[in-house]
Structure formats: C-alpha cells, structure tokens
Structure 1
Amino acid sequence: MKTEADFRLIKEDEFCSILTREFTINAMKNFSESSSRTISLLALPTLLLAEGFRGTKYASIMISEIHKQGLAQKLDDQINREIIDEFTKDFREATLGKSYAMDEVTEATRYLNELIQESKLVAEAHKALLLNVLTNTWTSFESSCKDLWIAMANAHPNNISGNESIFSGKGKTIEGVEGKSIQIGLLSQFDFNIKNHLGTILQEKFRFTSCNDIYEAYTKTFKKLNGIDNLKALELRQLELTRNLIVHKGGKVDEQYLRLTKNTDLTVGDAYEPSMEIVTTYFNKATEAFYNLVKVCDKL
C-alpha cells in the first residue's frame, strides 16, 4: 500500500521560494490544496482503521491494568478514581506519540490489504475509491491548467501572441468577438478596458479537456513559451483516457485505450482495474507537469 510519502505533493514553502508572480503562486496554491484533498480521500480507510486499532488497544490495555491493580472493584473510591485518571492520562500520552501512531498506520495498512484480498465487498469499495482518485487527479489537472491560462492572459496580455489562430480556436464562438474585433457591447462590460480581462474573454476559444488541447492552448496563445512538452507525456495521456473510461464508458476498456497503453492483457469491454502503483504514477506525473508549466509561465 502506498503512503503519502510516495505521492509528489508540492508544499507551499517549496513553490513560494521559487515563484515570483502572484498569479502563478495562487495557481500553485489552488492545485496543491486540491492534490492534498485527493490524497486525504485515498488515505481515509487506512486512517480510520489505524484509529480503530489505537482505540481498541487503548481500551484493552487499560482494562487489563485496572484489573491487575485491583481497582475494578473500588471505582467509587475517590482516591482510586484519581489513580485511574492519572494512569489514563499517562497511557494516552504514550499511545498518542508519533512512533506509536506510525505503528498503527503500518498495521492498518497490512489489515486493509488483507481485507481487499479476502472480501469482495471491500475490494469493490477500494476499487471505487481508486477510480474516484484517478478522476479527481485529472479533473484537478485540467481545471488548474485552464485557470492558469486565464490568469496569465489577464495578468500579462503583452505575452499574448498576435497570431490569428488565437481567435479561431476549436472552442465556442464568443458573443461579441468577431475575428480580432471586439464589439462595443462586450467592451462595455469591462468599462472599455480589457487589458487585464483578455483571458476571461478568450477562454472559450480553447478547450482544455485533453493533453493536446491544453498544449495547443498554451503554445498558440503565448509567445516564446517553450519547455512544456511534458504536457504530452505518455502517462498523462493515459490518465486522460483512463478518466474518460471511468466517466464516459462505465470503466470499460475501449480500442483507443488499448492502442495507447499497448496492454495485451486486456480486450475491448474488459473492466478497467486500477492499482495503487498506477494511481501514484499518474498523480505524480500530473503534479510534475503542472508544476513545470507554472514555473515556465512564471519566467515568461
């Protein structure tokens, strides 16, 4: 079972020491918070089991000690109640220590793995959790890339390319925008000053629903934007397709997924089976790709 240490979480003190622009810092903060929530969701079963083990051990040892000291028969005695209270306090301090807590997590992890192997119900619930984490990972990456694009175009319009392709993207037609012209009605919504609103206005000109779409949105929009090829990394593309399988195909493998992954163990129509290794790999790849994108935008 993977632990939090296996997942690449970008802490605030790490990126704040590198990034210099407010919009990139805010983008990374939002992504980091979203990633932390995803890992917390994944860790919930283990944490609940660990807390259960802790409470069970605490109760059993406490009862054993009380009985051994002959106090169980004299609970009405004020002095003995004070002794019990003191013992309880000391024991709680000992069991809530960091090393004890880590032992409980290890034991809970082992037990959870056993339950997954032995119980079909637990295995299905755990699979559903992993599928949810994969979906959340892609959603967080996709939405963060779009939010960063909007923020960058708003904050630094001078970096926007004059290429006609920006205004002829594959996205929706924007009411009030015709070619490179913006109608007065739309201008009036921004007090006739769109300098810091171009991202907000033009966002619908691009889609951000695939790795290729995201790469195209950035490279077509911003001048001299290099070093973001990892947006097209194989693992990231696989994450995108996996999310689509889960959301649109009921978790059933299709031909496109088989072509990209070259997985010879699966056939069209098979149920996709996630693993902690895959979840970790995809999560870390999405984190690395977005962090790299933020750093490139910060320096542009």
Structure 2
Amino acid sequence: MVCGWLSVLGLGKNKNSSPEVDLYKSLDSDKLPVHIAIIMDGNGRWATQRGLPRALGHRAGVDSLRDIVRTCSALGVGFLTVYAFSTENWKRPAEEVATLMDLLAEYLYKELNELNKNNVRVKTIGRIDELPVKSREALAMAEKETLRNTGLTLNLALNYGGRNEITEAVKQIGRDASAGKLNPDEIDENIISGYLYTAGIPDPDLLIRPSGEKRISNFLLWQVAYAEFWYSPVLWPDFRKEHLLEALVDYQNRQRRFGGLHQSKR
C-alpha cells in the first residue's frame, strides 16, 4: 500500500530520504479515518503577513485545497468535508465575499478534470439556495459531472452554520411529527442525524483546524461529538500533504473510546 501511495503522489524517487515518506510508512492503511473535516482558516492572516490583499490569501488557499483533496483521494479516505463559507461570513466586506464566490466557481470549473481523474465526487451542505447564481450553477455542474465517481466524496460546506442546520432539522422533525409521519417517542439520534445536511454520511473521525485557532466556529456541531481534534499553527495557504500526514499519524496513535474505557482498562 505504501508503494502505491508513493507512486500516486510522485514520491517514489525520494522514498529513502523524504520526511513525507517516513510519515507514509508509519501510517496503517486499515486505521485511516473514514471522514476528515477541515476548517480552512488563516487565508486573510497569511495575506496580511505578506502585505498582500486578502483576496490573494483566499486564492493561495485554493492551492492547499487542491493538494489535500489529491492526498485524501490517493490514501483512500472516504469523505472530506471542508468549511468553505459560513453563514457568518456574509458579515465580511462585500468585495471579499464576491472574491470568495468567484473563486468557488473558478475552482470547480478548473479542477473538474482532475476531480474526475481522481474519482472524486462533489457534494454540498448548507443553504446553497442563498448563494449567487454563478456559484449555484458551478456547484450544480460539479455535482452532475462527478455524480458517478465512487472514490473520495468532497463535501463543500457553503453558507453553512451548525446551529442553523440543527434548527432546520428540528423544524422539519416537528412538521413531520405534526403530520403523523413521525412518532415523537421514537425519535433518537439516528433519526435526528437523518434530518441533517449530512444525512447518509458518517460522522467525522478527525477534525483539523490550521491557523492556531482552537475552536470549531459553528462547524458540524452535532457530527463532531466524538471526533478527534487536531490543531496546527500553520495557516491554511501553507497547509500541505505533509501536515495532513502529521495529523493522520497523530490520529492513529490515539485511543478512541467514545465515552467508554479502552478495552485493556476494562
């Protein structure tokens, strides 16, 4: 498996000397997270530190997304959910919001061939109907053109907020209960999960946040109940596969107990 990963990511020539290869070799392919969630944070600070417009920070962040999608695909990760635009991000200057929306469409059109080549399926979560027409058209195109892909599912969280998601789910549960479609006494965690944007998708095993911040910022509040968290001081535009590999190695060295005791402690 390691040789396959090295070949796909072009590391074969340096397999005896690259630090990345050492990280690959320490990975257990049977213990990779099924679902990775990432809060893509730090674009603005990255640009400010370099005396550049914030827009260039967001553009640089696209390169990181490309690298991480490619790496997750090569490793065989099932789902990657990235926090691309929150419901609170509308508070930013209109020019910056417009830049983000334009970059979204640009990314989807430019990356479509590579996404298909790597068998990546594009999906979205959030209030997509409130996005600009250009963005909605690009998302619809990407979802349609990658629908039959069976590898990594790239889940783009756009105009997304965890509290809003839960609120909307509760409203719909109430409507269905009032209509007699749902027995309130039978409502459990599985039923609630089925009303969320992520219905049918396993909860994240690993949540990554670069940029040094240590909060989840209204992201997947229900779904990350038992996720492992990994923080990095690296700003998102500088985040690359070696940082993802570090997160995965750390993840595999943890004992996930889901509220119970580790088997050896029982």
**Does the pair score TM above 0.5?**
no
The alignment's TM-score, normalised by the length of structure 2, stands at: 0.28
Greater strand content? 2
Flag the structure with higher helix content: 1
